[in-house]
Amino acid sequence: MPEEQKETEVVRLAHGSGGEAMGRLIRELILPRFDNPLLHALGDSAVFELPPGARLAFTTDSYVVDPVFFPGGDIGYLAVCGTVNDLAMAGARPLYLSAGLIVEEGLPMTDLERVLDSMARAAGLAGVQIVAGDTKVVARGAADKIFINTAGVGLVREGVSLGPERCRAGDAVLVSGPVGSHGIAVMAARQDFGLETGLTSDVAPLAGQVQALLEACPGVRVMRDPTRGGLAGVLTEIAAAAGLGVELREAAVPGKEAVRGACEILGFDPLFIANEGVFAAVVPAADSEIAVGALKQAGAAEAAWIGRLSGEDPGTVSVETVVGGRRIVVPLGDELLPRIC
């Protein structure tokens, strides 16, 4: 391949310089994929109107997943789904996203295009528009391929009021699908683990399932998506904020055989493995069946009741042991799984 042609096929520092090369990158790679009137204006901010009395949800996450491409997704798909899901957890209909890219000089342009394609596909699926963006390029070795930050705004559905403080002893704890697929799929994709699981990440936008749940069961207390720290992590946070204990029936927690197998080999607990396409919800006990039914109808085939809140051991998550006792799940203390999101 001639040297000249090669040069045009990687991201160069000039693509972040604010000059002509950056202008071309925006016009040729970014706008065609995300075009919408708000983004097209290319001003310093996107400006939009909101319905009267709107309550807005606002959130952000940076994505540094390694590898950038993994079975079932990539950093672009993840960056859109993750922020859409954080909005959905607040009971909001996701509306607009911003995207901030930090790219390492030398990234193949085809990799950048693949990532942008995935962002566009995820945004389309989730019904959001990317209306503001920023691209920085840093020299080789100053970042690892590509990092993406997304921030998002969404409209909180009327009448919806969520928060751990609304939880009561006796409430049911649900999860919308099998846990641990994302974390294990990403780890398996790393050469240094040498695992072959056949697993794919569960990364997906959750706004549809959340909407179905809220319509069937307006009394939902709180929802959280168990990314870093896994299901045990978010349930511990809910327990602490609610001043209640979470009692899990471990056998009821859905999980794939391949995840369980990999966790046994690596010495992990699936309850701590990151997810990107399932969420946990607390609902009044009486709504438990309706809620699980609504989730299943919305495509969450393995949604399940997995436990309940209690007044005992506030701030902790416990699981039944095989001999009928309970064991408290101890929060993560140290680096377990860096760069899974």
- Compute the least distance from the CB of residue 222 to its own copies, in Å: 8
Q: Is 67 in the site for its own copies (CB under 8 A)?
A: no
Q: Figure out which of the listed residues 3, 4, 44, 192 binds its own copies, where binding follows CB under 8 A.
A: 44
- Do the strands 326-329 and 317-320 form a parallel or antiparallel pair, or are they unpaired? antiparallel
- Compute the least distance from the CB of residue 41 to its own copies, in Å: 7
Residue list 91-150, contact with its own copies (CB under 8 A): 92, 96, 98-102, 131-134, 136-139, 141-144, 147, 149
Whose CA is closest to 265, among 197, 340, 202? Answer: 197
**Can the peptide bond before residue 67 be classed as cis, meaning omega within 30 degrees of 0?**
yes
First to last CA, the chain: 35
- Compute the least distance from the CB of residue 93 to its own copies, in Å: 12
Q: Based on CB atoms, which residue is closest to its own copies, 67 or 261?
A: 67
Q: Is 73 in the site for its own copies (CB under 8 A)?
A: no
* Secondary structure of residue 212 in the 3-state scheme: helix
Over the window 299 to 318, marking each residue x when it contacts its own copies by CB under 8 A and - when it does not, the resulting string is --------------------
Q: Figure out which of the listed residues 10, 14, 266, 285 binds its own copies, where binding follows CB under 8 A.
A: 14
Q: Figure out which of the listed residues 27, 32, 37, 56 binds its own copies, where binding follows CB under 8 A.
A: 56
Q: Is 16 in the site for its own copies (CB under 8 A)?
A: yes
Whose CA is closest to 291, among 222, 189, 191? Answer: 222
Q: Based on CB atoms, which residue is closest to its own copies, 103 or 120?
A: 103
Whose CA is closest to 157, among 225, 81, 210, 229? Answer: 210
Residue list 258-297, contact with its own copies (CB under 8 A): 274
Structure tokens at 12: 């160069």
Give 151's strand partners. Answer: 60, 98
Q: Is 77 in the site for its own copies (CB under 8 A)?
A: no
Whose CA is closest to 176, among 297, 303, 263? Answer: 303
Q: Figure out which of the listed residues 32, 43, 108, 218 binds its own copies, where binding follows CB under 8 A.
A: 43
Tell me if 123 sits within 8 A of 80, measured CB to CB.
yes
Q: Based on CB atoms, which residue is closest to its own copies, 54 or 286?
A: 54
How far apart, in whole angstroms, are the C-alpha atoms of residue 69 and residue 182? 12
Residue list 200-229, contact with its own copies (CB under 8 A): 224-225, 227-229
Question: What would the DSSP string read from start to end of 222-271?
Answer: EEE---TTHHHHHHHHHHHHHT-EEEE-GGGS---HHHHHHHHHHT--GG
- CB proximity list for 49: less than 8 A, separation 6 or greater: none
Q: Figure out which of the listed residues 31, 36, 62, 195 binds its own copies, where binding follows CB under 8 A.
A: 62
Q: Is 166 in the site for its own copies (CB under 8 A)?
A: no
Tell me if 61 sits within 8 A of 82, measured CB to CB.
yes
Size of the site for its own copies (CB under 8 A): 87
Q: Figure out which of the listed residues 7, 20, 28, 196 binds its own copies, where binding follows CB under 8 A.
A: 20
- Compute the least distance from the CB of residue 324 to its own copies, in Å: 29
Stretch near its own copies under the rule CB under 8 A, chosen from 14-22, 118-126, 245-253, 294-302: 14-22
Q: Figure out which of the listed residues 74, 111, 237, 269 binds its own copies, where binding follows CB under 8 A.
A: 237
- Compute the least distance from the CB of residue 322 to its own copies, in Å: 26
Structure tokens at 284: 């009044």
